[in-house]
Amino acid sequence: MGADVRLLDAPFVAEAEIGAFARAQGAAGGVVSFLGQVRVDAGAGKAVVEALELRHYPPLTLPGMRALAGEALARWQLTGLMILHRTGEMLPGDPIVLVCAAARHRRDAFAAADFAMDHLKSESWFWKREKVGGQWRWIEPRPEDHADLSRWQGA
Amino acid sequence: MVVKLVFLGRLEDLAGVGEMAVPLDGGQRLADVLAGLPGPLADALRGPKVKLALNGALLSPGADPALADGDELAFLPPVSGG
């Protein structure tokens, strides 16, 4: 079973993608999905985000996402896996990333989706910047992102 | 010969461009290319958190490969996806 891994440079409709994925998973007892979307503000009580842009490096980004999907498939008993990630400029509320994992039993699906998200956040080849007050600024990774990733090492 | 440098993330702002073609006489290594760039940019590119890829393959830290005509060298600062 191969994974559906896509890098998208135009908006996608998350509900339609989740629905199509779930319908194709006849053997699964459970489907877990995670949708990441553009925040409206840069933090509680902080400035309004006007836009968000994700840059990538084509020689590494999609191959890296495929390798990540392969790792998840090898690690858990899944009937299906989908990883969609946007690039380019997005507006508040736009979907950025969608991970769907399907398995006969829910624990495998939860864990695989969690694993994929932690690795997309801090190990995949994306660079994010947001526009606040008409100015673009690059988003640095948060220490929590690396702590999240370390949960999977040696496990 | 010419090598292409690619700057990702905040390194693009520092370089002022996303890509730069660097003409070389031949026989140079990565360290020679860095030595030919403006000081503040070269220092940032040598930073401990910046990873490098040569023609789409990651280099191990501290590597100083010989360069050939048409090579693409990408400078990758810490990522922030998802």
ipTM attached to this prediction: 0.93
How many angstroms separate the CA of residue A40 from the nearest CA in chain B? 16
Mean pLDDT of chain A: 93
Q: CA B50 from chain center: how many Å?
A: 9
Q: What pLDDT score does A120 carry?
A: 95
Over pLDDT 70: what percentage of chain A? 99
> Residue A57 and residue B55: Cβ atoms within 8 Å?
no
Q: What pLDDT score does A90 carry?
A: 97
pLDDT at residue B25 above 80?
yes
Q: How many helices (H) and strands (E) does chain A have?
A: 4, 8
Q: How many helices (H) and strands (E) does chain B have?
A: 3, 5
List, for residues B69-80, the tens digit of each pLDDT value: 999 999 999 998
Mapping DSSP onto H, E and C, the string for chain A reads CCCEEEEECCCCCHHHHHHHHHHCCCCCCEEEEEEEECCCECCCCCCEEEEEEEEECHHHHHHHHHHHHHHHHHHCCCCEEEEEEECEEECCCCEEEEEEEEECCHHHHHHHHHHHHHHHHHCCCEEEEEEECCEEEECCCCHHHHHHHHCCCCC
A55 touches chain B (CB under 8 A): yes
How many angstroms separate the CA atoms of B10 and A143, rounded?
A: 18
> Residue B8 and residue A127: Cβ atoms within 8 Å?
yes
Out of 2.40.50.140, 3.90.1170.40, 3.40.50.150, 3.30.2130.10, the CATH code matching A4-150 is 3.90.1170.40
B-chain CB neighbours of A129 within 8 Å are 9
Q: Number of Cβ pairs closer than 8 Å across A and B?
A: 65
Q: What pLDDT score does A46 carry?
A: 80
How many angstroms separate the CA atoms of B79 and B5, rounded?
A: 18
Out of A85, A117, A141, name the one closest to residue B80 (CB).
A141
Can you give the residue ranges of every domain in chain B? 14-76
Q: What pLDDT score does A125 carry?
A: 97
A115 touches chain B (CB under 8 A): no
List the single range of A70-79, A98-107, A109-118, B60-69 with lowest mean pLDDT. B60-69
| Both structure tokens of A97 | 């990333």
Tell me the pTM.
0.92
Closest CA to A83 of A26, A35, A125, A44: A35
Q: What pLDDT score does A37 carry?
A: 95
**Which of A53, A96, A126, A127 to mutate to test binding with chain B, by most B CBs within 10 Å of its CB?**
A127
Fold of B14-76: Ubiquitin-like (UB roll) (3.10.20)
Q: What pLDDT score does A141 carry?
A: 82
Q: What pLDDT score does A140 carry?
A: 84
Q: What pLDDT score does A44 carry?
A: 73
Residue with tokens 């929590």: A144
Out of A59, A121, A138, name the one closest to residue B81 (CB).
A121
DSSP B63: -
Q: Which residues contact A44 (CB under 8 A, 6 or more apart)?
A: none
pLDDT at residue A124 above 90?
yes
CA angle B9, A147, A5 (to 5 degrees): 60
Nearest CA in chain B to A62: B56
How many angstroms separate the CA atoms of B51 and A136, rounded?
A: 23
Classified as helix, coil or strand, B78 is coil
B-chain CB neighbours of A145 within 8 Å are 80
Q: What pLDDT score does A155 carry?
A: 58
How many angstroms separate the CA atoms of A81 and B41, rounded?
A: 41
> Residue A138 and residue B53: Cβ atoms within 8 Å?
no
Please, which pLDDT band fits residue A82 given cuts at 50, 70 and 90?
very high
Nearest CA in chain B to A116: B82
